A and B are shown apart, each in its own frame.
Chain A
């Protein structure tokens, strides 16, 4: 792995001047991912914050071939490009090595794009799909998605007198759904732990066949926190075990970060405006439920690792 100093001297493949909000984690995550690529790379991106803020015509922040087609088909698009590449390579029309990365937000991955993602994984394309999970539809103005955690207030799961909890459903465990495709590599990362994340991207690119990485991407507007705290919020998500850093390689589970001092989830929740209502007395029980869900998931994950 390159040192930070060496990385800082690499050309940026997603360069500055884009219009993502100050404190947005998505470009941080993608810059780290692209810094881990050593060959030529083609990137596809679903409709969403990242696509909109980096490609406002006539500008583009991408120093790589970049394709956006629609909301639901980033995985399908890149699987097509990868197939074309294989066909051309077979005929000797392309000699060099090229990697293929499809990107989507949680809306474009967990929800509307799940079908095309599942298809691409099942067909076995040699590609990496990276979901930057900011846990709601931030591009259209903070509507809940199936990645929104239980208890979060969004514009379509607002907290109020009838439903004080905000979102009442638990979030979908997409990393496990992807792992259930028995692809060679699936992982969860966070740009706060950049070495771990970049190592995962390298591994995902290196395996033959499809790989999936779910990367946590705090949104200062939707989660409502001070933009200077993006990285701290991510660290807390990891140290509370809300967002375990782990990987599943050929079916073998490995937990990459085991917090020495596992923090209570309320420390992470209370930093975010979207959870403010949870600290009202009537939501006390809900806080306990959320803590219990996290503990259960964490223990299950450790048990699975131990089994391997």
Chain B
């Protein structure tokens, strides 16, 4: 069987970057704007060939800032839109990510993490953009951050990224790393009818009555979004604005906007939290990991079991909003939580915040551009 992009449903061997491109097509992405940067370039290359086949558009822009700006514009017309980059390019995109957050424009930004800061090691994996993904742009803003740990997961999770982005009108950062991006693995491409695809809610009112940022209907969080060019004329700005979309500096209106935007993080938390539990039933020591480090975690936990240690793995695919309540609950049941990360210890700070001192939190860091090995995690497990 072939889907529209001419991609069969059979088992395939492919790179994480390829899976990202194919998953995006399956999610309904029909616009990509990007700029070449290692180690994310294959996503752009693949989409330059795939998008024209499904009636989509691919544009290579003159830089990273223009790329995210084009994505924002395309999304405003109602088209699911993607850009992909890596560290330095992700830094350049930050201002516009803030615009997407305040103007509530769905979009997904892939950051295939490499070692930083600055040029760093362009051809080696890292997990050091975890905090940048959450707080890279200025101001209190909502952003969801997802992180796959395999090629197959990249495919399904990029679809979730778009579903979340569309439903909550929120930018979603998709944090891959050089290892996942360039690694080749087996993947079963799902049938399109097995996939749940969410599209943004569009207004049904008379265009003259449309208030673009009126969230009072529904759950009071996400206003319906009109496609540009369909007769729903409205004003869009990076300034704080009221329900009409026009700027305001009235204190209560500024307050209401900032609070409503950020409430998306709390309201969405439950349904955007994706955590896999491995051998957790009777675990008393837990490895809490994400991305490429979770793979080493899985093996370390299996080997620990063989030496009689009751270890379990919590693999989180959602980094932000951080699943603090979930971690808090686990904390009271275990002796220790080990957090392996390819950075100086970023998400471990959130684990510590959630644990509130109920159990021991051990940070395991590696910043030499090599993935954390199962042995390192195993010796940490044995050391508890």
CB-CB contacts of A27-52 with B at 8 A, as 1s and 0s?
Answer: 00000000000000000000100000
Known contacts A140-B37, A143-B36, A143-B41; A111/B49 CB under 8 A: no
Q: Count residues on chain A whose CB falls below 8 Å from chain B CBs.
A: 23
Q: How far is the CA of A284 from the CA of B37 in the complex (A)?
A: 34
CB-CB contacts of B261-274 with A at 8 A, as 1s and 0s?
Answer: 00000000000000
Residues of A contacting B118 in the complex (Cβ-Cβ under 8 angstroms): 70
Q: Which of A9-17, A124-132, A154-162 contacts B (4 or more CB under 8 A)?
A: A154-162
Q: How far is the CA of A157 from the CA of B41 in the complex (A)?
A: 13
Judged by a CB distance under 8 angstroms, whether B48 is at the interface is yes
Q: Which of B58-66, B102-110, B198-206, B282-290 contacts A (4 or more CB under 8 A)?
A: B58-66
Looking at B35, B58, B118, which has the most chain A CB atoms within 10 Å of its CB? B35
Q: How far is the CA of A299 from the CA of B119 in the complex (A)?
A: 45
CB-CB contacts of A144-170 with B at 8 A, as 1s and 0s?
Answer: 101000000001111011110000000
Closest to B48 in A: A156
Residues 65 to 91 of chain A near chain B (Cβ within 8 Å): 70-72
Residues of A contacting B64 in the complex (Cβ-Cβ under 8 angstroms): 112
> Is the Cβ of B38 less than 8 Å from the Cβ of A111?
no
Closest to A136 in B: B36
Looking at B36, B53, B63, B119, which has the most chain A CB atoms within 10 Å of its CB? B36
Judged by a CB distance under 8 angstroms, whether A275 is at the interface is no
> Is the Cβ of A111 less than 8 Å from the Cβ of B44?
no
Judged by a CB distance under 8 angstroms, whether B117 is at the interface is no
Judged by a CB distance under 8 angstroms, whether B45 is at the interface is yes
Judged by a CB distance under 8 angstroms, whether A137 is at the interface is yes
Q: What's the minimum C-beta distance from A116 to chain B, rounded to whole angstroms? A: 11
Known contacts A112-B63, A114-B62, A140-B37; A156/B44 CB under 8 A: yes
CB-CB contacts of B28-54 with A at 8 A, as 1s and 0s?
Answer: 000000011110010011001100110
Closest to A47 in B: B119
Q: How far is the CA of A70 from the CA of B117 in the complex (A)?
A: 13
> Is the Cβ of A162 less than 8 Å from the Cβ of B53?
yes
> Is the Cβ of A143 less than 8 Å from the Cβ of B45?
yes
Q: How far is the CA of A156 from the CA of B49 in the complex (A)?
A: 7
Closest to A158 in B: B49
> Is the Cβ of B37 less than 8 Å from the Cβ of A155?
no
Known contacts A140-B36, A143-B36, A156-B36; A111/B45 CB under 8 A: no
Residues of B contacting A157 in the complex (Cβ-Cβ under 8 angstroms): 48, 60
Q: How far is the CA of A218 from the CA of B111 in the complex (A)?
A: 32
Q: What's the minimum C-beta distance from A184 to chain B, rounded to whole angstroms? A: 27
Residues of A contacting B35 in the complex (Cβ-Cβ under 8 angstroms): 112
> Is the Cβ of B45 less than 8 Å from the Cβ of A155?
yes
Q: How far is the CA of A98 from the CA of B37 in the complex (A)?
A: 34
> Is the Cβ of A156 less than 8 Å from the Cβ of B62?
no
Q: How far is the CA of A112 from the CA of B63 in the complex (A)?
A: 5
Residues of B contacting A72 in the complex (Cβ-Cβ under 8 angstroms): 63
Specify the main secondary structure of chain A where it touches its partner.
loop
Judged by a CB distance under 8 angstroms, whether A141 is at the interface is yes
Looking at B37, B62, B64, which has the most chain A CB atoms within 10 Å of its CB? B62
> Is the Cβ of B52 less than 8 Å from the Cβ of A162?
yes
Q: Count residues on chain B whose CB falls below 8 Å from chain A CBs.
A: 19
Q: What's the minimum C-beta distance from A141 to chain B, rounded to whole angstroms? A: 6
Q: How far is the CA of A144 from the CA of B44 in the complex (A)?
A: 11
Q: How far is the CA of A127 from the CA of B155 in the complex (A)?
A: 49
> Is the Cβ of B37 less than 8 Å from the Cβ of A111?
no
Q: How far is the CA of A47 from the CA of B64 in the complex (A)?
A: 15
Known contacts A160-B49, A162-B52; A143/B63 CB under 8 A: no
Q: What's the minimum C-beta distance from A94 to chain B, rounded to whole angstroms? A: 30
Residues of B contacting A156 in the complex (Cβ-Cβ under 8 angstroms): 36, 44-45, 48, 58, 60
CB-CB contacts of A87-120 with B at 8 A, as 1s and 0s?
Answer: 0000000000000000000010011101000000
> Is the Cβ of B62 less than 8 Å from the Cβ of A143?
no
Q: How far is the CA of A107 from the CA of B49 in the complex (A)?
A: 21
Residues of B contacting A161 in the complex (Cβ-Cβ under 8 angstroms): 53
Residues of A contacting B53 in the complex (Cβ-Cβ under 8 angstroms): 160-162
Residues of A contacting B88 in the complex (Cβ-Cβ under 8 angstroms): 70-71
Q: How far is the CA of A144 from the CA of B58 in the complex (A)?
A: 12
Looking at A47, A137, A156, A160, which has the most chain B CB atoms within 10 Å of its CB? A156
> Is the Cβ of A140 less than 8 Å from the Cβ of B62?
no
> Is the Cβ of A163 less than 8 Å from the Cβ of B63?
no
Closest to A114 in B: B62
Residues of A contacting B63 in the complex (Cβ-Cβ under 8 angstroms): 72, 111-112
CB-CB contacts of B119-139 with A at 8 A, as 1s and 0s?
Answer: 100000000000000000000
Residues of A contacting B36 in the complex (Cβ-Cβ under 8 angstroms): 107, 137, 140-141, 143, 156
Q: How far is the CA of A150 from the CA of B88 in the complex (A)?
A: 29
Q: How far is the CA of A156 from the CA of B62 in the complex (A)?
A: 13
Looking at B37, B53, B63, which has the most chain A CB atoms within 10 Å of its CB? B63
Closest to A115 in B: B63
Q: How far is the CA of A70 from the CA of B64 in the complex (A)?
A: 14
Looking at the complex, which one of A71, A107, A160 makes contact with B52 (CB distance below 8 Å)? A160
Q: How far is the CA of A209 from the CA of B362 in the complex (A)?
A: 60
Known contacts A156-B45, A158-B48; A140/B38 CB under 8 A: yes
Q: How far is the CA of A220 from the CA of B256 in the complex (A)?
A: 59
Known A70-B88, A141-B41, A160-B52; 9 more pairs at CB < 8 Å: A47-B119, A70-B118, A112-B63, A140-B41, A141-B36, A146-B62, A156-B36, A156-B58, A157-B48
Sample of 30 A–B contacts (CB below 8 Å): A47-B119, A70-B118, A72-B63, A107-B36, A110-B62, A111-B62, A112-B35, A112-B62, A112-B63, A112-B64, A137-B36, A140-B37, A140-B38, A140-B41, A141-B36, A141-B41, A143-B36, A143-B41, A143-B44, A146-B62, A155-B45, A155-B48, A156-B36, A157-B60, A158-B45, A158-B49, A160-B52, A162-B52, A162-B53, A163-B52
